[in-house]
Amino acid sequence: MLLRCNVLHKALSRNFHLTSPHGASRGLQKIRICDMTSGLAGPYCSMILGDMGAEVIKVENHKGDESRHWRPPFVGGESCYFLSVNRNKKSMEIDIESEKGKNILKELVHKSDVFIENFVPGKMSELGFGYESLKQINPELVYASISGFGSHGPGPKKPGYDIIASAMGGFLSITGPKNGDGFPVGVSVTEIMTSLYTSSAILAALYEREATKKGKQISSSIFQTQLAYLSHIGSNYLNTGKLSKTLGTSHPSIVPYQALRTGDEMIIIAATNEKHFQNVCKALDIQHLVTDERFTNNQKRVANRDVLIGLLEERLISSKARYWIKLLEEASVPCSLVNTVKQAYSSEQAIALDMIQTVEHESYGKVKLPGRAIHYNNSFTPLPPPLLGEHTRDVLKNILHYSEDEIESILRNNKNT
């Protein structure tokens, strides 16, 4: 309650303009984010905060967020990529390399709680917007920087993209077909994980600020994230020197835990303990494998992986996938069909969890977006992703209190640039 009251007092003193999505969490309703990010990791981070009720001002140059140009596919002229990570935001178009643009940004920083940027390390300082400069304007500012490889060592100037960090961070060496070449997974999970880490750090810094009345500088990078979430694979190497390799869908320490062939589709079976393995054998009517000396515990099953998988698939290919899924589920075995994205979104579970959100924008029409991973005990209707500069006038007028003449001059300059 004290946190909420302090934040409310601070927000009201800034003439805060509420724009939280209808039904969103009110946890960050009084928090304003100055968002200087583009691409994936930064925008996903600010979108998470917007989903929590924060007012996110997305500051863009005249070309806009680079992901606006990552198309096809697109909807109404806007890239689907951009639409997927920019809901619940306002777009303000300014030239931060001009003196006027710099002054506008500084005024916005003064009235913001959080500043997020994902420029190449050092670029913000060159422009006069490094942490040391901005904390003079707003001592309570939480300043978060997201980069490809951090600000120290030989890596800061390297391109900060998921596939580069995945290659450097060892992820590609463990992801791919058994004994084959490594490859990235279907989405940029390392950048998304970086967003999650960074948004959590921002929340912690905001909470700490209520006690200290001081802001904080936060630095994250997709390379650090990649190494951090290697999890047991990293631990295996660090403690035993053992390197993991590509194993397809299988697990290095659990068997069976992978995709298996049936008479038609692939299915996943995840037998993480002895009871699960016994139930697998019961469901498949091959109970004799439970007492087979080669498979009587997980360590033996790992050692005899190829033999066991061969025996399981020999049985599974005799019938279709859905037949086996029914029997395995009845036996309480963790399992699933290997769904397409279409099957996943149309599944009963996805529908029950409202994992497709439809928003309507007056310019590009209806857009379907992936739903949120977190639900609150109220409804949620996200605000549509903004057009480039769509809210420039709103921010200048209602937050920074510029006159109509000043606003018109800035808008004319944007059109002429």
User: From first to last of its 417 residues, what are the pLDDT tens digits of the chain?
Assistant: 333 334 333 433 444 444 445 445 567 989 999 999 999 999 999 999 999 999 999 999 999 999 999 999 999 889 999 999 999 999 999 999 999 999 999 999 999 999 999 999 999 999 999 999 999 999 999 999 999 998 888 877 777 889 999 999 999 999 999 888 888 899 999 999 999 999 999 999 999 999 999 999 999 999 999 999 999 999 999 999 999 989 899 999 999 999 999 999 999 999 999 999 999 999 999 999 999 999 999 999 999 999 999 999 999 999 999 999 999 999 999 999 999 999 999 999 999 999 999 999 988 889 999 998 888 776 667 889 999 999 999 999 999 999 999 999 999 988 877
Which residue among the candidates 251, 288, 361, 401 is catalytic per the annotation?
251
276: annotated active-site residue: no
Cα separations (Å) of 331 from 37, 277, 282, 316, 388?
48, 10, 8, 15, 53
Tell me the domains of the chain and their CATH numbers.
Answer: 2-229+356-416 (3.40.50.10540), 257-345 (3.30.1540.10)
Instruction: Tell me the C-alpha distance between 286 and 280, whole Å.
Output: 8
Q: Which residue from 56, 44, 51 is spatially nearest to 26, judged by alpha carbons?
A: 51
For residue 26, the model assigns a pLDDT of: 61
Question: How many angstroms from the chain centroid is the CA of residue 73?
Answer: 20
Maximum CA extent, the chain: 85
| Residue keyed to tokens 């390392």 | 190
- Please give the radius of gyration of the chain, using alpha carbons only, rounded to the nearest integer: 25
For residue 296, the model assigns a pLDDT of: 97
Q: Report phi then psi at 366, rounded to 5.
A: -80, 140
For residue 197, the model assigns a pLDDT of: 98
What are the pLDDT digits (tens) for 76-132?
A: 889 999 999 999 999 999 999 999 999 999 999 999 999 999 999 999 999 999 999
How many C-beta neighbours within 10 Å does residue 216 have?
Answer: 19
Cβ neighbors of 351 (< 8 A, separation 6 or more) are: none
CB 68 within 8 A of CB 79: yes
Query: 310: which 2 tokens?
Result: 């061969």
Strand partners, 337: 267
Instruction: Tell me the C-alpha distance between 358 and 340, whole Å.
Output: 21
CB 48 within 8 A of CB 56: no
122-151: b or e for each residue (b if 16 or more CB lie within 10 Å)? Answer: eebeebebbbeebbebbebbbbbbbbbbbe
For residue 289, the model assigns a pLDDT of: 98
For residue 9, the model assigns a pLDDT of: 39
CB 230 within 8 A of CB 243: no
What are the pLDDT digits (tens) for 295-307?
A: 999 999 999 999 9
For residue 257, the model assigns a pLDDT of: 97
| Single-letter code of the amino acid located at 113 | D
Q: Report phi then psi at 265, rounded to 5.
A: -95, 165
Cβ neighbors of 214 (< 8 A, separation 6 or more) are: 139, 140
pTM: 0.89
Cβ neighbors of 207 (< 8 A, separation 6 or more) are: 3
Q: Treating both helix axes as pointing N-terminal to C-terminal, what angle do 404-416 and 99-110 enclose, rounded to 10 degrees?
A: 130
Which spans in 288-373 are helix H? 298-303, 305-316, 321-330, 341-345, 348-352
∠ CA 385-215-47 to the nearest 5 degrees?
15
Question: How many angstroms from the chain centroid is the CA of residue 111?
Answer: 27
Cα separations (Å) of 80 from 76, 131, 180, 192, 364?
10, 33, 32, 17, 12
